[in-house]
Amino acid sequence: MVPYISDVLFNEPRGRPNSLIQFGASLSFLCIFVYVWSVGEAGEVPWVLFLIVGTALSGIAESLPKPRRWAAGLLRLTAILVLVCLLAITFLAPDYIIGYWKVAF
pTM of the model: 0.80
What residues does each domain of the chain span? 2-98
Nearest to 53 by CA among 23, 74, 10, 91: 23
Would you say 37 and 73 are in contact if contact means Cβ atoms under 8 Å apart? Answer: no
10-residue mean pLDDT series, the chain (105 residues): 66 79 93 88 80 92 84 89 92 76 45
**Cβ distance 72 to 62 under 8 Å?**
yes
CA–CA dist 61, 79 (Å, integer) = 9
Residue 35: DSSP 8-state: H
Cβ atoms within 10 Å of 102's Cβ, excluding its own = 5
The pLDDT value given to residue 24: 93
